[in-house]
């Protein structure tokens, strides 16, 4: 069986018998999820000059601004 290292705690474990792959335990899996939800992780993005990051003002339903 192949031993791999958990990316959260560093523990080595058998990959074939792990129920929470690629983590060693449910705890490490939940720590990883928490980091994603807390925006500690993210995907790199190249800046685009054609994207306006300021939201457009929405008009009210009766047509007033």
* 3-37 to CATH, choices 3.30.70.20, 3.30.50.10, 3.60.15.10, 3.30.930.10: 3.30.50.10
Residues 56-65, mean pLDDT to the nearest whole number: 63
Residues 41-57, mean pLDDT to the nearest whole number: 71
Distance (Å, whole) CA 33 – CA 31:
5
pTM higher than 0.75? no
Comparing C-alpha atoms, which of 8, 7, 26, 24 is closest to residue 16? 24
Q: Residue 12: what are its φ and ψ, rounded to 5°?
A: -90, 140
pLDDT tens across 16-30, in order? 888 999 999 999 999
């Amino acid at each position: 069986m192949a031993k791999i290292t958990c990316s959260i705690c560093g523990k080595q474990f058998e990959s074939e018998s792990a129920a929470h792959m690629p983590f060693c335990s449910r705890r490490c899996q939940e720590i990883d999820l928490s980091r994603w939800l807390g925006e500690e992780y993210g995907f790199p993005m190249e800046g685009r000059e054609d994207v306006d990051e300021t939201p457009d003002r929405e008009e009210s339903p009766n047509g007033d601004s």
